[in-house]
Amino acid sequence: MAEYLSPGVYVEEFDSGAQPLEGASTSTAGFIGLAQRGEIEGVPQLVTSVADFHRLFGSYLSENEFGDYRFLSYAVEHFYLNGGSRCYVMRVAPSDAKLATNQSSGNKEASVLRITSKNPGTWGNQIRVVIVPSSKAKTQIYEVLEGNQYRVKNNAGFNVGDVVAFEADGEKQYNKVLSSQDNIIKLASELDGEVVDANLLPAKVLTTCEFTMHVFYGDEAETYEKMSLNISAANHVEKMMARSNIVTVKDISEGKDFGAVSPFEVLSGEAETTGKFQVALSGGSNGSVANLSAGDFMGVDRGPGKRTGIQSFIDNDVVSIMAVPGVTDPNVQLSLVAHCENLGSRFAVLDIPRDKTKVADVMTHRNIFDSSYAAMYNPWLQVFDPLDKRNIYIPPSGSVIGIYSRSDQTRGVHKAPANEVVRGAVGLDCQYNKGEQDILNPQGVNLIRHFAGQGIRVWGARTTSSNGLWKYINVRRLFIFLEESIKNGTNWVVFEPNDEQLWARVQRTIDAFMTRVWRDGALMGGSPSEAFYINIGRSTMTQDDIDNGRLICVIGVAPVKPAEFVIFRITQKTREE
């Protein structure tokens, strides 16, 4: 309760109406697969366009090197081509993939700094690092004091442990800072000659010795200025380079004291007058596809921020549709389906092996699964390959997820993502006829077919579930949308007093949201009362529930089902009728 201690007027705010409840996103995709570059451990990376994907994960992969595991980049491209808006991507790499490093170069800097590519792959062999001398501070000396101490104009930027150079008449004397305070700098040894210069434009200056590192990879360039080998300084190379997206730098000198030697000379073995020193990385490897296993895609849970493969998406609560494009190993696909079922907030799109085109072979693969959180599509799509400049066949999952996203944005999640044109596809790996679909469709295999004058279309909207209540994709995804929206929008209820007033507020909040969903056409019924019901209060909770902190709200929903079979019954009309 507020305190009222002095006379006056008090204005207070309080919530009395329903809390607005916002619908959850259903069109954010998640992809897992091989790529040229990118982190293989941690959290999936947000990708907002094809160009963004190429910047983070590299370009297309060759068939000769990666075979049937190369389809991630094509799937992401066709996801956006078919209307996708955003996705998260996690890279997988063979166990023998290696980082590019400077350790194999034999250069002097390799004994001081270990420079490696940010992640494994031959892409790291194209990284070039250029080191040039630089300085972060300079000043002039006003007075020579006892004990190698000098009073300077400004000691800002001169840190304990920094290497400095005193330059006069074109010559340099190198020294080391022992203390720096109140414009008095103490050096390790005495400077030779006349060092005092009080002129307005000094000819003799004391400067710090640092180096600048330029990192180049393709069109990408990073510059890190005025870095030091002084481990106690804020501009130590390891601290500064932690921001790099191209390389990782580790100081392996173990705090060794290099004396009064400029860091550029320590790294290059050459005088600062050389101007620059170039380092080339080598030894990066993509690894062998033969060393890939289902476990690489399924991933390992090493704790927060260290998960790999499918497991890395546990840390992501945004993704709602997932695929491992082109990877049809049952172990990987079952792991993906289990991941979606356990979280209950996402849906898996599965590919069928390309060599399984006969109905019996397709059914053999289909019969492995029984889940309302997954859908299966066949056949593969013929598209243009920008790498080989020819048409190739790619798995349909990327294009289909793009169609999911497009349908969600144009019509809503309640619309079955079927009878939609597949953009970017010029052909199919095989053409199924109606008789073959009569067998596959009831079993939950969604075919992609070519119709004369109508292009290539997704011609199925079924899950892989044997439960008739959940046989349609849009029904399951509608419930995912409702559940996530209600969960995200009712956090304010937690720890509120569990009484009639709270029950009424919760009912009003959900009623307003469900009414909006009904008006959007996602629910059956001519009125809200026919489309849904909300029960909360004594009819859903016992005193034991209330005593144990449980608020139970029961919501009944009548989802719309797709008109999968359109039947027109025609008969002759006689005059007597």
Task: Name the strands in the sheet holding 277-280, side by side, starting at the edge strand that comes first in the sequence.
Answer: 220-227, 210-217, 128-134, 277-280
If asked whether residues 399 and 437 sit together in one domain, one would say yes
Per residue in 405-425, pLDDT tens? 999 999 999 999 999 999 999
The amino acid at 377:
Y
Give me the number of domains the chain comprises: 4
Q: CA nearest 338: which of 377, 368, 363, 317?
A: 368
If asked whether residues 233 and 251 sit together in one domain, one would say yes
**Residue with structure tokens 């109508």?**
454
What are the residues whose beta carbons fall under 8 Å from the beta carbon of 18, sequence distance 6 or more?
Answer: 505, 508, 509, 511, 512
Structural domain includes residue 107: yes
CA dist., res. 380 & res. 392, Å (int): 10
If asked whether residues 409 and 527 sit together in one domain, one would say no
CATH assignment at residue 258: 2.60.40
CA dist., res. 498 & res. 512, Å (int): 21
Tokens at 467, concatenated: 């439960």
How confident is the model at residue 234, as a pLDDT?
A: 87
- Which of 439, 474, 509 is where one domain is finished? 474
Q: Is the dihedral of CA 434, 322, 411, 562 positive or negative?
A: positive
If asked whether residues 202 and 216 sit together in one domain, one would say no
Structural domain includes residue 245: yes
If asked whether residues 46 and 194 sit together in one domain, one would say no
Tokens at 422, concatenated: 């597949």
Cis status of the peptide bond prior to 379, with omega within 30 of 0: yes
Q: 450's torsion region: left (phi>0), alpha (psi -120 to 50) or beta?
A: beta
Helical spans, DSSP H, in 203-287: 237-240, 263-268
Structural domain includes residue 310: yes
**pTM of the shown model:** 0.88
- Which of 424, 442, 474 is where one domain is finished? 474
If asked whether residues 240 and 364 sit together in one domain, one would say no
If asked whether residues 402 and 513 sit together in one domain, one would say no
Q: How far apart are the first and last CA of the chain?
A: 79
- Which of 189, 208, 227 is where one domain is finished? 208
Contact between residue 168 and residue 195 where contact means Cβ atoms under 8 Å apart: yes
What are the residues whose beta carbons fall under 8 Å from the beta carbon of 134, sequence distance 6 or more?
Answer: 210, 211, 212, 225, 226
If asked whether residues 257 and 354 sit together in one domain, one would say no
Structural domain includes residue 14: no
Q: What domain range includes position 519? A: 490-557
What are the residues whose beta carbons fall under 8 Å from the beta carbon of 34, sequence distance 6 or more?
Answer: 61, 66, 69, 70, 72, 91, 92, 93, 292
How far is C-alpha 74 from the geometric centre of its chain's CA atoms? 17
Per residue in 84-98, pLDDT tens? 999 999 999 998 899
Helices 500-519 + 473-489 axis angle, to 10: 140
Structural domain includes residue 86: yes
If asked whether residues 351 and 400 sit together in one domain, one would say yes
Contact between residue 91 and residue 120 where contact means Cβ atoms under 8 Å apart: no
DSSP state of 104: G
Contact between residue 178 and residue 188 where contact means Cβ atoms under 8 Å apart: yes
How confident is the model at residue 297, as a pLDDT?
A: 95
How confident is the model at residue 105, as a pLDDT?
A: 59
CA dist., res. 460 & res. 510, Å (int): 32
Structural domain includes residue 484: no
Tokens at 375, concatenated: 């859908």
If asked whether residues 218 and 255 sit together in one domain, one would say yes
If asked whether residues 379 and 310 sit together in one domain, one would say yes
Structural domain includes residue 19: no
**Residues with pLDDT less than 50, the chain:** none
Strands 374-378 and 347-351: parallel
Structural domain includes residue 243: yes
If asked whether residues 321 and 435 sit together in one domain, one would say yes
Per residue in 449-462, pLDDT tens? 999 999 999 999 99
Q: What angle do CA 279, 236, 278 make, to 5 degrees?
A: 10
Per residue in 32-49, pLDDT tens? 999 999 999 999 999 999
Strands 141-144 and 347-351: unpaired
